[in-house]
Chains A and B, each alone.
Chain A
């Protein structure tokens, strides 16, 4: 993986990648179209989990020829999407027509013109290519990550808004209420540690906790207010506040350091997790997956907020669909993109993530309700409200916020330091990464 990343970086150097926005404005759709070949085959790159999307499309539109190519989905920093496209930019041909990426930040490079004059890979979608009515169907803010200077370059596949999950059975047994604020969450930690040691309220063992706790608490840690500008302030009151709460809970043992995906976590805490803030995909991946918690125990509450503050959700993941600006069959690409993001056949029937397209999300929630997994009937409202409440102060950049957290904070906690004491070092590491990636730190 490192080799790929290094080679991608090397290719960038070779191609002299300078951050110049292509802007566009040419053609019907805001980019220069390739000569169109009606009814030509479109090539689609997806990860294994998105193969059903292509299969469903082929069943619904048997007349549109689609070539499916499965790849690693650009997973976890493999950079395969960018490496391959950069090579095709050099060759001036061979691009796929549609690409699914599990990362959120590809629009940053895919929107830029390459130095040898190729226009950016990702086609602008809101300059006439897709109807505004259709784009308006996406949850508010869900297209932000792929929007650059007002131009939408990617369609969100699934949302990963955070909510607060709780175990009703344990809360009843202990006589506790569901916390609604971060302050109550911290206080519940103190109470739980004193009265029922061994029970927990979460884990800090995964690097995506940075989105859950800092994005979810409106801490201005990872912001890119404008193109190529980075801002981080870990001394902000929210960042310090949430760090103190985390430190208190780490000290009293209600936050642990095992990864949610480790079997240790499943073995030690399957019946000890009283409540936890986390993205909606915890339902399948953690409660029904690793912990195997039976139906009728878990409830879903709105994301935690600060006392007196507005409710704000964090966001942890969510894939994107991109159209190629070089496609020779844009009509088919348009039909494909609209189908995979909004049609029931994939988003409702075959997708495990929470659909970003609101009408599909409603049906997806109905389907979950039929399964009767959650204890509270209003979980649908809670989840759909949270989808519209993702805090817009946490941005995407060309690198991941998880690396600095994994490099500075996780080892620090393991060595017994407090998160609060690590905040300056964390900010420094974030700013260093920003500088390395060509961002101006402000």
Chain B
């Protein structure tokens, strides 16, 4: 059993170790030295400098764009989807079932299928090229509504909320002072999923923003087109080497890694919540 686990661990961890070591090497070292050898810190600095020199430091702009899009969308998502999920779970109103089914259906539609209508809509609203063209579609997160719905309908007792009502609290107060504090794990979970999905989204920002407004994932594709191994027949005066590309890839996922490390306690709580019932 242990052996099987070790084999699987090695299978998943080895590529990551390789990726972590890659930026410490030169292009030649990367391909000729042992796959798990360490290059040097000097080379890491050299690759770092090369990456941030590309396009006069455009890499920082990309990271900044990604952060702006992801955090702005995250804020809107939370403000919208948490109350929505709460209402769907705990308040009886007309059309509730229809809304719930619609949420589920929209969740199942792949994002790419919606790209053309979204593009036309944004174009009609004259938002193409504007940060809002990314932020608004990113904020549409039916999975978050569904997750909150599940949480509130299973993990939060109606009796508790009713008790608050009997004590004279209005609906808003019940939501804000009783339901919300109980929902911290699911808020963290929705926030995390939304942030990861938006940070990693390539296709939508690729189409709706250009130039210096692109996020880092689209920027990586621009970097890639300057790597001769991937694009040999283009006469390029600007050449990005593979270790620099590896460094860019690592930096592009670093924020998610950091957020996961800090948020993991909430995330684990959120995921197991609702699994058990008293």
CB within 8 Å of B: which residues of A?
1, 3-4, 7, 11, 14, 45, 47-49, 51-52, 67-73, 75-76, 78, 80, 83-84, 87-88, 90-94, 102, 158, 160, 206, 208, 259-264, 266-267, 279, 281, 284-285, 289, 316-319, 350-354
B251 to nearest A CB, angstroms?
Answer: 18
Q: Within 8 Å CB of A48, what residues of B?
A: 54-55, 222, 225-226, 236, 238
Which residue of the partner chain A has the closest CB to B240? A48
Knowing A208-B232, A266-B28, A285-B232, the reply to whether A90 touches B226 (Cβ < 8 A) is no
Task: Please state if A267 and B234 are interface contacts (CB–CB under 8 Å).
Answer: no
Residue from the set A4, A75, A206 with the largest chain B CB neighbour count within 10 Å: A75
- Considering the chains assembled together, what is the distance between the CA atoms of A158 and B128 in angstroms? 32
0 or 1 for each of B228-251: is its CB under 8 Å from A? (1 = yes): 111111111111000000000000
B244 to nearest A CB, angstroms?
Answer: 13
Q: Within 8 Å CB of B120, what residues of A?
A: 90-91
Which residue of the partner chain B has the closest CB to A68? B211
Q: Within 8 Å CB of B87, what residues of A?
A: none
Which residue of the partner chain A has the closest CB to B119? A87
Instruction: Kindly state the interface size class of chain B when it binds its partner.
Output: 35 or more
CB within 8 Å of A: which residues of B?
27-28, 30-32, 54-55, 58, 112, 115-116, 119-120, 123-124, 128-129, 202-203, 206-207, 210-212, 221-222, 224-226, 228-239
The A-B contact count (CB < 8 A) is: 134
Give the interface SS of chain A, mostly helix, strand, loop or mixed: mixed
Which residue of the partner chain A has the closest CB to B222? A72
B172 to nearest A CB, angstroms?
Answer: 41
B15 to nearest A CB, angstroms?
Answer: 19
Task: Please state if A263 and B27 are interface contacts (CB–CB under 8 Å).
Answer: yes
Task: Please state if B235 and A78 are interface contacts (CB–CB under 8 Å).
Answer: no
Task: Please state if B235 and A281 are interface contacts (CB–CB under 8 Å).
Answer: yes
Which of B207, B211, B224, B226 is within 8 Å of A87, CB to CB? B207
Q: Within 8 Å CB of B225, what residues of A?
A: 47-48, 72-73, 75-76, 78, 102
- Considering the chains assembled together, what is the distance between the CA atoms of A235 and B58 in angstroms? 51
Task: Please state if A3 and B207 are interface contacts (CB–CB under 8 Å).
Answer: no
Q: Within 8 Å CB of B224, what residues of A?
A: 72, 75
B206 to nearest A CB, angstroms?
Answer: 7
Which of A1, A68, A80, A260 is within 8 Å of B232, CB to CB? A260
Task: Please state if A49 and B234 are interface contacts (CB–CB under 8 Å).
Answer: yes
